[in-house]
Every structure is written in structure tokens, then in C-alpha cells.
Chain A
Amino acid sequence: MPPPTHSWPLPLKCSFWAAGVFLLLFFVLPLMMVFGVSLASRGLYGGVEWIATFDNYRRLADPLIGVIFLRSLFFASMTTIACGVIGFPLAYMVARASHRWQLVLLMLVMIPFWTNFLVRTYAWILILRADGLVNGVLLRLGIQSEPLSLLFTDFAVAIGLIYGYLPFMVLPLIVAIERISPQLEEAAYDLYASMGAMFRHVVLPLSKPGFMAGGVLVFIPSLGAFITPYLLGGGQKMMIGTLIQQEFLVSRDWPFGSALSFGLMGSALMLWFLVSRTALGKDLP
């Protein structure tokens, strides 16, 4: 069935088809090129030699890659869940704020993210360092006698990831919660529901589209993240994003890097498909 465009105003029609063309040209086409490269071979000095081979994909079966992938999966899942838990109260607060305050609160949420991501991540280094804020406070209050080694640990990377991706969870949640009619909440209270039950049976289920959208926006990028692990992880642990970057930039093995990227993309897609179909139900794409 063709799109019911007859009832649309012209600008909307143009906009719709323009979006499609744009994506075909600057998304589908480039990816096809990379796919082509993933089937080629690495040249002697790191260029691409057009000799077809499945080698690059065969190398994906290496258990070393499996370990790396699982570690990244763990971090991404933890980050997503943490963002959901931490982000929900804030999102609810903003969504239910009076109209006057809403825009202000919204912008207050966004302001930290208008300062540069690298700089903010770097600030965490200053907070977690041996002579940084946390240790300074702990030592001053006498809780610790030696500085804690917080930096360059998995903990540091996790904090960095959660911090970096929080707005991607909070904003969609705000949009979704705002759509829930407060009258539904009132109705629950009228029916003698406790506050906890009201949240559990009314708000949370109805916020699902928010959690879904936010979940995708957090999980996928954090799976392929490499800047945060780079700055906060002290280069200790290899994650899939770090490996891909290494293949492209250091080893200059573009075909293998391309194959890795497609592998990452494929698994991310599969995981998202699984989760969206099973855990979170029917009224979703």
C-alpha cells in the first residue's frame, strides 16, 4: 500500500521523500562501500587491495575477539540499566514539573552536555585521581588513610559511560512520561493504590516507549564506545570499540576493521531485535 500522501501538505511530502533520499545517499551507499572493503585484503602499507576474501570474517571467530565482545556487552548492559534507574526519577521530576519550570529544568539537564564531552570525561579524571576530589574528601574526613585507586579501573569507565549517555535516556523518558495523563495517576490513588503500586502499575509500564527509545540510544553507542575507555580506563582493557579504532588507525587494516564493525553492528541489531520483541512487547516497531 503506497503512502497516503494525497492528504499531506506539499512541504511534508517533500520533507518525507528528502529524508529518504538523504539516507540512501549518505548512509546506505557509504555502508555498502565499507562492506565491499570488508571483503577485500589489506595492502602492504595499509591500503586496500581489491582481492576478494572471506578471511576478515573468518578472523571474527577468534576467541580473543569473543572475550573482547563479551566485556563490551557487559559494560553496555550495565550502563543502560544504570542510566534507566538513575534517569527515571529525574525524568519524572521534569515531566511533571509545572509548565513554567519545565523548560528551565529541561535546559538545566542539557547544559552539562553542551560543554564538551571530552572535557567532561577529563574532569572525571580530576575527580577520581589519587590527588583528586574524591580522595581529597575521603582523606580529609579520615575515612581513608591511603588514597583509593579509583582511576583507570572498570568502575571509572562505568561512571564515565553512564555520565556520558545519561541524557540519551533522560530526554526520551521525559517525552514519554509527559504523555501519561496525570488523571490516570489520580485514578489509581482514588482506587486506594499506594504510591509504589501506582508507579509500578501505571507510570512504569506506560513509560515503556521512553525506556525503549532511551535504551537503544544508550546501549548501542556504549557498546562501540572507545573514547571513554581510552581516557578513563588507562588503556588497560581492550573493548570492541578500541579494537576497531586500533585496526583502522594503528594497524591500518581497513578490511579487517570493516569486518569487525559489521560484526559489531550485526550483533547490536540482533540484540536489539531480541529485546524489543520479547521483553518489551507489542506496541513497538
Chain B
Amino acid sequence: MRPMPRTLVLAGLMTMLFLYLPIIILIGLSFNASTMGVAWKGFSVHWYQKLLADSSIVDATVNSLVIGGTSTACALLLGLGAAIGLEKWRGRPSSWMNTLIVLPLVIPEILMGVALLMAFVLLQVPLGFGSIIIGHMVFNLPLTVVILRARLRKLDPAWEDAARDLGATSWNVLTGITLPMLRPAIVGAALLSFTVSLDDFVVTFFVAGPGSTTLPLKVFSMIKTGMTPEVNALSAIMVVVSMVCVGLSWLFQQQTPSSLINNDQSS
């Protein structure tokens, strides 16, 4: 296979650099002794100490992770059914359902936040973890469906037909053929959903309740009242943790026997 065009790779790497520039700044400044401003005033781990002592930030981070994981998992469960179902079900009602599913992505977040708040008040749902998870799912579900469908559309139905002809039950077809072929899309959808959930501010802002402050809410209030470098330290930690996860998953990939047909990129 021909190597990729050099200009393309260069452009791609520069984009990577662009992505990481603020991160590098944040990590650098997290060791800056100065309380405000960019001027370097000496190396210090003071902010890390302050961060770990600040239970409200730690709580908020844990809340965000829990909410992120849950809403991603639930959105994936519902989204798989919705995406696969919509692909197989051609016809007018299907396109209505499709529009309905994709609509949340078109709604301005602030409208969604206000709308959910009104609905929760009407349905007497107490604001807290549950309300935030639901709020996040309203966005994650369409996101998952869109990504899954983009991939599903290109799948060759011949594989599934062949499997059925060979006597596989519909469950086998699903788990043995469809889902494996969807794997990159599932991973992509999960990653994006988790990221969106972790970062969500607007909807969370409206539907959060006592004791369920998430990281973005906490950070926003810290920024509003004079950003302290503790948050830089937090960002640095999050980046390092993510990189450790990447390293681990890479190791995991090395050990998994690749026995599937879909390992070959052309399938």
C-alpha cells in the first residue's frame, strides 16, 4: 500500500499540535507559582496540594465521571437498537423516526436545558444525578445513532444474509456479524458521548440539583470568581490519566488474538 502523502501527514500532525497547544500551556502553568497572570514566577507544586485538599473539586470530578459513564452506556444501549432498527426499516415512518432521533442535535443547548427543567418540574422529578444523566442522554443518544448509522449505511448486507442462510439465529447475526463490523463506530460513539457528557455545561447547569455539581459547573464558577491555577493542575492530572489509559489500551490491543474477519481493513 502506498504511503500517505507527506503534505497530508504534515497537516495532520500540525492539527495535532494545534489540539495540544492549550493543554501544554495548562500543564506548564500548573507548576507556576504565580496566582494570576502568565508570567513565570517559579516552579511550585503548591496548586496540586491545594487541589487534592479541595474536596469540592474532587467530588465534582467524580460526579462528572459517574454521570459520563452512565449516560454513555445507556445512550449506547438505546442507540444500537435505534440505529440498527432504522437501517432495516425503510419507508416513510422510518424517516420520521429518524428526524425525531436526530432533532435533539439541532436544538440549541440552552433551549434544551430550559425545556428539561420545565419538564422535570412538571413531572415532579427531583433534580440531581438522575436528571443530569437524562439530560445528557438526550444529546448522547442522537450522537450515537448518527455515528452508528454513518457506518451501518456502508455495510454490505450480504454478510448477514449469508450468516442467516447458514442457519444463524438473529441474535447470532447481531452479535457475530453486525456488532463486530460496527466496532469502530461503537468505540467512536462511546468516546464522543463520554467526552460530550464530561464537558457539558449548559444543560447540566439547568438541571443539576444539590450535591450533584459536576466539573464544568465547578470550573465555571471558579472562572467567574477569579480562576485559580488549581484547575490547571486538575487538567494536567486528567491529561496524564488519559494518556495512561491510552497506554493500557495499546498494551491490551497487543495481546488480543486477532481472529476476526473484520481485522482486515477492507471488510
Contact = CB atoms under 8 A, between A and B. Distances in A.
Interface of A: 1-5, 7-9, 11-20, 22-23, 26-31, 33-34, 37, 86-87, 89-90, 92-94, 96, 99-100, 103-104, 106-120, 122-124, 126-127, 129, 131-133, 136, 163, 166-168, 171-172, 174-176, 178-179, 181-183, 185-186, 189, 195, 209-210, 213, 216-217, 220-221, 223-224, 226-227, 231, 241, 244-245, 248, 254, 257-258, 261-262, 264-265, 268-269, 272, 283, 285
Contacts of B95: 285
Contacts of A174: 184, 188
A115 B109 contact: no
Given A34-B115, A122-B223, A176 B107 contact: no
Interface residues of B, number: 112
A179 B154 contact: yes
Given A34-B115, A99-B265, A257-B114, A108 B246 contact: yes
17 contacts: A15-B82, A22-B137, A28-B100, A86-B11, A90-B12, A93-B4, A100-B250, A108-B246, A113-B195, A117-B199, A118-B216, A119-B219, A127-B25, A163-B18, A175-B150, A210-B150, A268-B106
A87 B245 CA distance: 24
Nearest to A34: B115
Interface in B155-196: 169-171, 174, 184-185, 187-188, 191-192, 194-195
B22 A19 contact: no
The 10 lowest CB-CB distance pairs between A and B, nearest first, are A15-B81, A224-B108, A30-B115, A123-B22, A89-B11, A261-B111, A93-B12, A30-B119, A16-B81, A16-B85
Nearest to B81: A15
A179 B148 CA distance: 12
Contact of A110 (B13, B84, B195): B195
Interface of B: 1-2, 4-5, 8-9, 11-13, 15-16, 18-23, 25-26, 29, 37-39, 77-82, 84-85, 88-89, 91, 93-95, 97-112, 114-116, 118-119, 122, 134-135, 137-138, 141, 143, 145-147, 150-151, 153-154, 169-171, 174, 184-185, 187-188, 191-192, 194-195, 198-199, 201-202, 215-216, 219-220, 223, 227, 231-232, 234-235, 238-239, 242-243, 245-246, 249-250, 253-254, 258, 263, 265-266
